[in-house]
Amino acid sequence: MVSRREFLWANGVVLAAGGLGLTLPASPAGAATRAPAPLLPGFGRATRLDFADISTLHGNDQLLLATLQGVVNRRRPRLYFNYTTEGYDNTWLTSTGAAVTRHERPLDLVARYRGEVRGAILHDPDVPDSVNVATTLAGLENAVAATAEQAEQYGLRTITDLRGRFKADDILGLYRWQLDNLFPRCTHALLSGLPPTRTVKVDDVRWREIARETERIRDSSNREVRTFDLSQELSGEDGVYLRFQDSLGDDGWGASVGSVVVKADGAQIASFTPGTDAETPYLFDGLNSSIGGDQNRFSDGGGYFIYRFTAPAGTQQLTVEVDLWNQFLVTATTTAPTRVEPFPYFRDYTVAMRAMVFWLPPSGQTGDLLDEILSKVKPTTPYAGWFSNDVAGEWGGVDRASQHAVEVVPADYYMNATVHAGVAAKVSSKVRPRPPATLRNKVYLTLTVGEGDNIQYCQRRMRQLWDDPARGRVPTNWTVSPLLAEIGPALLSHYQRTATANDLLIAGPSGAGYTYPGSWPEQDLAAYTELTGQFLRRTGMDLVYAYNHRNPEDNGWVAFDERIVRSYRKNTPLRGIIQSWESGDLQIHPAGLPVIGNFSPQGKAQEYRDTLVKKIEGWDGKSPLFIAGAVNAWNWTPSDIAELGSLLTEPFEIVRGDTFFHLLDQHLDRTG
């Protein structure tokens, strides 16, 4: 059987100063085998960094700089950027330990480092997905991805011109060409799925409120066809933009649209169902939305989707009939509210790794091509990035990857990876001491903040939550990716060092990378649990939050079976597993390892507390009761957790996950 290291060598990932710039530990004298290669390798330690804030630059300029960063940092990390206005990249800059030179004119760095690139790969503005092909070629050719205008402006010779090479409506043909012609030259140690474009909000757009649901409605009980008069917006020269949002963005039940009919002076000019070809001409911005099981388009939390309608000249009245439900906020404007530009994030790492970059929705013909790509790599090869169509894309994409023994590393917004992967930060392998506890007839609740498999969440949103002064008031489990030990050791080290006695880091779904273990080929599952065991021991984690595939008959989660849990028990140090379950009514003990389903109440603290009280109504108090409670990382903060803690009195006791499973084990031993 070919080892991972042998596989990396065979496929062009040179682990030496002239290749990826890795420094590997020396083998003991007489050792028969070499140390295994990193799963997510670094490129050496940064000692000096040229830093610039590029958050206000256009996507074309950010793409140029990100691909430059990949080529330059492959040899030795020297470029570091702040990519977004939130400033998270600034927050982590000091953790690199490097001397920093700040540059007020970011694009001057192109001239400074021009001698380290061979030239430019020109992407085609008329074919958005050519950005991904240009990124792949940039890695292979030691080049940057640029527009023709940028290449001329910065004196970059053209290596490959992709303009006119592909058709915008033939995405399959574009990625088929890349697979046939570029993948043989790429590393096979990493696959990357990145959206070719992003949508950027335009400043100072004025919206008129059309309709709003003020009640918390999550059961479609307010579903009806509503007619909106958009005649006030007919004065706009660029059409009418109709936006649908979540009116109550803290609980994840936003606007849901089942059909749309548009009429101009009573005559129908458009009619469509979401997710169909008929919708496409009118969907101006659907990136932050998903297609649901009722052929509905929905968006929750801070997301939205926008339709654009153009009425015939001379129209006096424009109306839109919308089949609409849940917590909706509908607004309209006559100004284009967003613009589309290249998506620049994580491309420094893919360029440095010489990875193939693509964006294939995991269904239909694009799903078939995704399957073909996934089948060409070895088991436990990471797929870094994400999938299209948000929720549905996540389920379909992760499941397809799992079927091919590939784990997913959500990384599409992970920035400066080529620097962070090389930081010499100490990651502790010590398991946290478990607080003492005595089993009593109480309701034991352990609270788990999700999303930790998502390394950009660990870099961005989690840091924001972590800095909340209320953190530590209530025992809380924080999911993180153990893969940060390689691709972000300073991040993981920070969370380890600053954790309070009430904070416990546990592995995010479902271990060393996001996956559905039940979908793995039987012969490959051990490779994943062995990999997970290695990373858990490196990071001192002994609990995992896990997902599994869904039952195609009822779309419900499938519980871990004896085979899956036995593999975890054999190959990892786990003391327990919390499995995604929503209703929380799963409590099993396969292979002698406790597995409990999480419980996901809606709303904030008071509603969460009321739902818990209702859940235990049938409990007689004569034996302990165990509940694993989910905390929404995007809508909750430690302050909300602290408020919940203050509301939960007897018989509830909130405990850390390690204490929770220690007590649950005792209870299961007593009850057999």
Last residue of a domain, one of 295, 316, 336: 336
Which of the two residues, 25 and 596, has the higher pLDDT score?
596
For 90, half-sphere exposure in the C-beta direction (CA atoms, 13 angstrom radius) is 10
Number of domains in the chain: 3
Answer whether residue 26 is part of any domain.
no
* Surface-to-core class of residue 332, CB atoms within 10 Å of its CB (0-12 exposed, 13-18 middle, 19+ buried): buried
Query: What average pLDDT score do residues 162-167 get?
Result: 97
Residues 144 and 284 in one domain: no
Q: What is the per-residue pLDDT across 71-107, written as a single tens digit (0 to 9) for each?
A: 999 999 999 999 999 999 999 999 999 999 999 999 9
81: three-class secondary structure by DSSP: strand
Residues 562 and 446 in one domain: yes
pLDDT, residue 23, reads 30
Query: What average pLDDT score do residues 161-169 get?
Result: 96
Answer whether residue 152 is part of any domain.
yes
Answer whether residue 8 is part of any domain.
no
- Residue appearing with tokens 């400066």: 416
> Which CA distances in Å does 279 have to 91, 126, 256, 328?
42, 21, 15, 20
Query: What average pLDDT score do residues 384-404 get?
Result: 90
Give CA–CA dist 312/485, Å, rounded: 59
Give CA–CA dist 552/518, Å, rounded: 13
Residues 278 and 397 in one domain: no
Query: What average pLDDT score do residues 449-461 get?
Result: 96
pLDDT, residue 469, reads 98
Where residue 515 falls among pLDDT bands split at 50, 70, 90?
A: very high
Stretch (H or E) spanning 402? helix 390-403
Cβ count within 10 A of residue 452: 27
pLDDT, residue 6, reads 30
Q: What is the per-residue pLDDT across 294-315, written as a single tens digit (0 to 9) for each?
A: 899 999 888 899 999 999 999 9
Give CA–CA dist 166/127, Å, rounded: 7
Q: What is the per-residue pLDDT across 364-378, written as a single tens digit (0 to 9) for each?
A: 999 999 999 999 999
Residues 324 and 409 in one domain: no
Contacts of 241 (CB under 8 A, 6+ apart): 284, 306, 307, 308, 332, 333, 334, 335, 336, 337
Question: Alpha carbon 229 to chain centroid distance?
Answer: 38
Residues 579 and 443 in one domain: yes
Residues 171 and 279 in one domain: no
Q: What b/e string do you get for 54-76 counting C-beta neighbours within 10 Å, with b at 16 or more?
A: bbebebbbbbbbbbbbbbbbbbb
Q: What percentage of the chain exceeds 70 in pLDDT?
A: 94
Query: What average pLDDT score do residues 193-221 get?
Result: 93
Cα R_g (the chain), whole angstroms: 26
Weakest-pLDDT range from 151-155, 388-392, 566-570: 388-392
Last residue of a domain, one of 289, 315, 336: 336
Among left, alpha and beta (phi > 0; psi -120 to 50; other), residue 269 is alpha
Answer whether residue 21 is part of any domain.
no
In 3-state terms the chain splits into helix, strand, coil percentages (rounded to 5) of 30, 25, 45
Q: Is the pLDDT of residue 128 over 50?
A: yes
Residues 98 and 123 in one domain: yes
* Surface-to-core class of residue 467, CB atoms within 10 Å of its CB (0-12 exposed, 13-18 middle, 19+ buried): exposed
Strands, E assignment, 400-525: 407-410, 443-449, 476-480, 503-507
Where residue 391 falls among pLDDT bands split at 50, 70, 90?
A: low
Answer whether the bond into residue 651 is a cis peptide, omega within 30°. yes
463: three-class secondary structure by DSSP: helix
For 548, half-sphere exposure in the C-beta direction (CA atoms, 13 angstrom radius) is 24
Which of the two residues, 672 and 286, has the higher pLDDT score?
286
Query: Are the beta carbons of 253 and 300 closer than 8 angstroms?
Result: yes
The DSSP line for 23-50 is -PPPPPTT-SSPPPPPSS------SEEE
Q: Is the pLDDT of residue 234 over 90?
A: yes
Q: What is the per-residue pLDDT across 174-202, written as a single tens digit (0 to 9) for each?
A: 999 999 999 999 999 999 999 999 989 88
Give CA–CA dist 451/445, Å, rounded: 19
Give CA–CA dist 405/525, Å, rounded: 7
Largest CA distance in the chain: 87
Query: Are the beta carbons of 256 and 607 closer than 8 angstroms?
Result: no
pLDDT, residue 669, reads 85
pLDDT, residue 388, reads 86
* 512 residue type, one letter: A
Q: What's the domain range around 650?
A: 425-669
Give CA–CA dist 477/538, Å, rounded: 19
pLDDT, residue 390, reads 60
Which of the two residues, 113 and 669, has the higher pLDDT score?
113
Weakest-pLDDT range from 87-101, 249-263, 501-515, 624-638: 249-263
Residues 450 and 544 in one domain: yes
H helix count then E strand count, the chain: 20, 32
Helices (H), 503-601: 525-539, 562-571
Which of the two residues, 201 and 457, has the higher pLDDT score?
457
pLDDT, residue 28, reads 34
Residues 220 and 85 in one domain: no
Q: Is the pLDDT of residue 17 over 70?
A: no
Q: Is the pLDDT of residue 18 over 50?
A: no
> Which CA distances in Å does 215 have to 271, 330, 436?
29, 15, 44
Where residue 14 falls among pLDDT bands split at 50, 70, 90?
A: very low
Residues 448 and 406 in one domain: no
Give CA–CA dist 150/387, Å, rounded: 29
Q: Is the pLDDT of residue 21 over 80?
A: no
Give CA–CA dist 382/444, Å, rounded: 36
Answer whether residue 150 is part of any domain.
yes
Q: Is the pLDDT of residue 34 over 90?
A: no
Residues 88 and 178 in one domain: yes
Answer whether residue 25 is part of any domain.
no
Query: What average pLDDT score do residues 609-614 get?
Result: 97
Answer whether residue 324 is part of any domain.
yes
Residue 287: both structure tokens together: 């990136």
Last residue of a domain, one of 336, 363, 392: 336
Stretch (H or E) spanning 211? strand 208-212
The overall average pLDDT reported for the chain is 92
- Residue appearing with tokens 């779904």: 509
Residue 139: both structure tokens together: 């890695």
Residue 185: both structure tokens together: 């030259």
Query: What average pLDDT score do residues 538-547 get?
Result: 97
> Which CA distances in Å does 354 have to 55, 113, 174?
25, 19, 18
CA nearest neighbour of 447 among 472, 484, 481, 410: 472
pLDDT, residue 35, reads 56
Q: Is the pLDDT of residue 161 over 60?
A: yes
pLDDT, residue 584, reads 86
Helices (H), 460-551: 461-466, 484-487, 489-498, 525-539
pLDDT, residue 58, reads 97
Answer whether the bond into residue 510 is a cis peptide, omega within 30°. yes
338: three-class secondary structure by DSSP: strand
pTM of the complete model = 0.88
Give CA–CA dist 168/391, Å, rounded: 25
Residues 570 and 446 in one domain: yes
pLDDT, residue 147, reads 98
CATH number of the domain where residue 480 is located: 3.20.20.490
Answer whether residue 36 is part of any domain.
no
